[in-house]
């Protein structure tokens, strides 16, 4: 008799959007480093010397290659983590196991957001060291806003991560999944406000405030889910 693996344990389909975005981001970071290479100092100061501590400087290769290397490490470790999760999932109820299509969506989101962040950081850091006048804080504030918009857009799709069982637990899971649509909309609004506000207001204040609002949003989602599950 042929054995059929439970749906929650089947491998997720490849996150092709994330693969393409990561490859494009990696190529973009390499291109930025190559274009600015000759303008970068041989040693880049990462910490200024003070009376109490010595300064720190790293070779330009380290500065230019750290973010591409980090992206590659995350790209390698994520499938390993999913494989471990898949093996451990056999020991848990099916309603605690993330569904394969949701795993694929989560990986797509991760590997779309990370390259966006890393490419921006690569351009800002190396451009600044190469002598370009870059409004670092404003750029980062806008990027934080864009990331929140992307997360908010993806949140409703990530809400259907578990198959809800019958009974009170099932009602709570279903209510929590429904709350992701509202939470996603709130994140998108905050992200848009962050991106726009960073252009006119103190950008770090706007970005930090926007990031701190993520906690209250998820708290709101939990409260509404509990109220709906009664």
* Segment 108-138, tens digit of pLDDT: 788 888 888 899 999 998 998 998 888 888 9
Give backbone dihedrals phi and psi of 10, rounded to 5 degrees, phi first: -70, 150
pLDDT at res. 107:
77
How many residues does the structure list for the chain? Answer: 230
How far is the C-alpha of 19 from the C-alpha of 71, rounded, in Å?
11
Rg over alpha carbons for the chain, rounded to the nearest Å, is: 21
Mean residue pLDDT across the chain: 81
Rounded to the nearest 5 degrees, what angle is found at the Cα of 58, between the Cα atoms of 54 and 62? Answer: 155
Please give the structure tokens belonging to residue 211.
């990031």
């Amino acid at each position: 008799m042929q054995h059929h693996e439970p749906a929650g344990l089947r491998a997720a389909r490849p996150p092709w959007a994330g693969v393409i975005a990561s490859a494009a981001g990696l190529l973009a970071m390499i291109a930025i480093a190559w274009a600015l290479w000759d303008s970068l100092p041989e040693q880049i100061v990462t910490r200024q010397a003070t009376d109490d501590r010595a300064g720190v400087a790293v070779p330009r290769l380290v500065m230019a290659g750290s973010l591409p290397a980090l992206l590659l490490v995350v790209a390698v470790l994520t499938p390993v983590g999913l494989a471990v999760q898949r093996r451990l999932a056999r020991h848990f109820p099916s309603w605690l196991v993330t569904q394969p299509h949701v795993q694929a969506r989560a990986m797509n989101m991760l590997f779309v957001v990370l390259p966006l962040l890393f490419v921006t950081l690569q351009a800002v850091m190396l451009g600044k060291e190469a002598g370009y006048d870059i409004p670092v804080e404003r750029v980062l504030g806008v990027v934080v806003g864009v990331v929140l918009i992307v997360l908010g857009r993806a949140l409703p799709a990530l809400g259907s991560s578990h198959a809800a069982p019958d009974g009170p637990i099932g009602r709570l899971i279903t209510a929590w999944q429904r709350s992701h649509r509202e939470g996603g909309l709130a994140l998108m609004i905050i992200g848009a406000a962050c991106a726009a506000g960073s252009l006119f207001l103190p950008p770090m204040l706007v970005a930090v405030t926007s990031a701190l609002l993520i906690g209250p949003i998820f708290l709101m989602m939990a409260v509404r889910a509990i109220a709906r599950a009664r």
